[in-house]
Every structure is written in structure tokens, then in C-alpha cells.
Amino acid sequence: MFKKSFILLVLILLFSGSVFAVRLIDPLSKTLSLDETNFVGTVAVGNTIELIFSKELVDKYENLQLVTPLPTGFDYEIKVEMESIKMFIHVPQNAPVGNYPFTIELSGPAKSDKVPLSFEVLKNALDVSPADISEASTNVNSPAEYNLFFINKSDSDAVFVVSTNLPNNWMNENPLNNEKYSKEVVVPRRGNLQEKISVYPRLQGEKEFVVSIAFEDTSKEFAFKVNAKPTLKSKLETVMYGLPFYSFSMLPSYFINSLFSFYIN
């Protein structure tokens, strides 16, 4: 009888220990130790590492708070969800590379646990390059497409910001759209991504331009060229981008031509 009771007690203790283990779901799936520092992943400078902790039981963990402060310039936010608690740590672009230890406290009606953690800030964890061609031919007002290949070697999603030195309406399908072009490309952790950049030339001929990609605390620039061939529609709608330079007496005929251009595909 005593032997059975002892075995039952051991099973209960083991079960309780597993139930009340602190579990990290992302970016690394692991059971966390309360007695030693737990490494939770890497993040590139200027990006955000997302830590997801399991609540395990509904009545176990309800809150998370930071016990030790993060370095100056770092910021964080906490989101409590139905089955997990998320912590987002935002790393500034000028953060020194290295390991950053900190401590959190998970608390609930059943118990509270202080957990020592650390993450590593990396530099040169991200990269980008042209995927294929650097020169393309198309018709005026038709898209010329270029592919960029992005690499992320960190344990956190990474953001790249793409811009060009072309006129704004060259980067928008609508020729009358002059909104400033800026495109964010999010590359998943430990992942690669190919992203397409479309250019809509508004004038015939060759045009060289530069694509800039900002990431981490740096940026890269790549030279491209587009060769735009004229179409009947593009010739007739020229007046839509400015008044004729010849004489105002020709304005009525230019205006008629521009209206006619709307009916040409």
C-alpha cells in the first residue's frame, strides 16, 4: 500500500512539474529553466524579436512583466492572448552587437516564475542582391519587372525598405498617381524571399535608375536600366503629362488626341 502511494506521489510531482514548466513557443521551442539563463534567439539590428510564451493552463500565467530593464534605446511591448503571452523587443539600428541578458516574471493565480533570458543582436545577418536581369525592355506605360533576392539569417522576421530615384508615377501603375514610392519587404526568420519590383516608364527611350534597399543600419544600391518603346496610345496621351511646348494654338488638337488615347488599349 505504501509503495503504491509513493509511486502515485512521484507521478503527481512529475506531472505537476511538467504542467508548470515555462514553455517558449517561438522563435525557439523549448522548456525554460528557472535557474540558469535561457537563450531565446537572434535578431538583426533595427528589427524586432518576438517571444511567445505558452500559458500552459488557463489559470497559470495571466501576466508578464520585465524585471530587469533593457538597454537605452531598446523598447518592448507585451500582448496577452487566449493561449499565449507575447513579448516584442524592438532593437534600435545603432544597437551594439552582442548578447543581452534580461529577466521576466510570469505571474498568475497559481504561481509566479522569474525566468532569466538572453537574446543576441547580430549585424550582417541580412542581405539582398538582384535575382536576375538588370536591364529590361517594355512599352511605354507597361511594366518592366526586376527581381530582388532577400536573405535573413536571424531568428526574427526582418524588414527591408525599397525605394528608387525614379519619378513617383513611374513606380505606380496609374500614371496620375504621384504618391512617394516606398515598399517594405518582410523576410521571415531563417528564410529567403524573392520580391518583384515593377517600373512603368512614361517616356520612350532608355532610362538608367537606382534601386535602394535599406536594412539593418545600412543600405545597398543597385543600378538598373529600362528601354521603353513608344506605342500609339503613349504618343497621343503625351499632353496628359504637360502642355505642348510648340504653341498654344495646337492645344485643341493635343487635347483631342489625349481624349482619343483613352479608347486605345
Cis check: omega of the bond before 69, within 30 degrees of 0: no
CB 61 within 8 A of CB 21: no
Name the pLDDT band for 217 (thresholds 50, 70, 90). Answer: very high
Name the pLDDT band for 258 (thresholds 50, 70, 90). Answer: low
Does residue 133 register a pLDDT over 70?
yes
Average pLDDT across the chain, whole number: 85
What is the per-residue pLDDT for 239? 53
- Interval 230-252 mean pLDDT: 55
Residue type, 55: K
HSE-CB for 126 with a 13 A CA cutoff: 30
What is the per-residue pLDDT for 13? 44
The continuous run of DSSP H or E covering 58 comes out as none
Which phi and psi angles does 16 have, rounded to 5°? Answer: -65, -40
What are 46-62's pLDDT values in tens digits?
Answer: 999 999 998 875 567 88
Name the pLDDT band for 144 (thresholds 50, 70, 90). Answer: very high
User: Of residues 261 and 23, which shows the higher confidence score?
Assistant: 23
What is the per-residue pLDDT for 140? 93
- Kindly report which listed range (192-196, 204-208, 220-224, 256-260) carries the lowest average pLDDT score: 256-260
What's the burial of 15, exposed, middle or buried (CB within 10 Å: 0-12/13-18/19+)?
A: exposed
- Kindly report which listed range (36-50, 209-223, 236-250) carries the lowest average pLDDT score: 236-250
What is the per-residue pLDDT for 166? 96
- Interval 192-220 mean pLDDT: 95
Most confident among 12-16, 136-140, 235-239 (mean pLDDT):
136-140
CB 24 within 8 A of CB 30: yes
What is the per-residue pLDDT for 38? 97
What residue ranges of the chain are covered by domains with CATH 2.60.40.10? 21-122, 126-230
What is the per-residue pLDDT for 244? 46
Burial 232-265 (b: 16+ CB within 10 A, else e): ebbebbbbbeeeeeeeeeeeeebeebeeebeeee
Does residue 236 register a pLDDT over 80?
no
What is the per-residue pLDDT for 255? 52
Distance of CA 110 to the CA centre of its chain: 38
Pick 21-122's CATH classification: 3.30.300.30, 1.10.1040.10, 1.10.1660.10, 2.60.40.10: 2.60.40.10
- Interval 166-183 mean pLDDT: 92
* 126-230 has CATH 2.70.70.10 classification: no
Name the pLDDT band for 215 (thresholds 50, 70, 90). Answer: very high
**Maximal C-alpha separation, the chain:** 112
| % of the chain residues with pLDDT over 90 | 68
Determine the Cα angle at 225 with ends 265 and 132, to 5°: 100
Q: Give the other-Cβ count within 10 Å of 73's Cβ.
A: 11
What is the per-residue pLDDT for 19? 46
What are 72-108's pLDDT values in tens digits?
Answer: 999 999 999 988 999 999 999 999 999 999 999 998 8
Distance of CA 220 to the CA centre of its chain: 16
Q: Which set of grid coordinates corresponds to residue 143?
A: 511594366
